[in-house]
Amino acid sequence: MTYLLDVNVLLAAIWENHPHHERTFRWLAERQIAVCPLTELGFRCISTHPKAIHAPMARAWELLQTFLTERQAGRISDELPARDARPQQSDQVTDVYLATLADHHGMKLATLDEKIRHPAVVRVDHLKPAG
């Protein structure tokens, strides 16, 4: 199984000072992972935002690329039309799109978010570490 990583999983896995870094990093071991443009951009946006991590843009990009290379991450396009996702509320728009995109590619969306309700969603702490 390949897991499309939600932005929150990327943040937790890459930033060592993230409160869920250890468990997320361990969970990802030996798993096939993928990202899409939306999750890569989300990581960069939050990592560089002054009210969040506030890292320099180049540093965020470097850490993301190193992580993806080391993990041999796949990349998928986000060619799925936005209308194909069916969120019920405004705060579900991106989450439901990513879950629908993962399902479209035969993947699961790996997330730390407890609120996403979609058959293609897997909470990172609900699966045992691989290996």
* 2 or 92: which leads in pLDDT: 2
Question: Please, are residues 97 and 86 in contact by the beta-carbon 8 Å criterion?
Answer: no
**Residue 76 or 127, more confident:** 76
Give the pLDDT score at 125: 77
- What integer pLDDT is reported at residue 3 of this predicted model? 98
pLDDT (0 to 100) of residue 129? 53
What span, in angstroms and rounded, lies between the C-alpha atoms of 77 and 56? 26
Does the pLDDT value for residue 85 go beyond 90?
A: no
Whether 24 contacts 14, CB under 8 Å? no
> Rounded to whole angstroms, what are the CA distances from 124 to 12, 65, 88?
11, 21, 23
Q: Which tokens hold the place of 89?
A: 């509320």
Q: Mean pLDDT over residues 112-130, rounded?
A: 82
Q: Are 114 and 124 in contact (CB under 8 A)?
A: no
Q: State yes or no: pLDDT of 87 exceeds 70.
A: no
Average pLDDT over residues 26-49: 96
Percent pLDDT > 70 in the chain is 92
The mean pLDDT value for 6-35 works out to 95
User: Percent of the chain at pLDDT above 90?
Assistant: 74
Of 11, 4, 12, 1, the C-alpha closest to 97 is 4
Mean pLDDT, range 15-43, rounded to an integer: 95
pLDDT of residue 130: 57
Cα 73 from chain centroid (whole Å)? 11
Say if residue 86's pLDDT is above 80.
no
Specify the DSSP element, H or E, that contains 101: helix 93-104
Q: Where does 2-126 sit in CATH, by number?
A: 3.40.50.1010
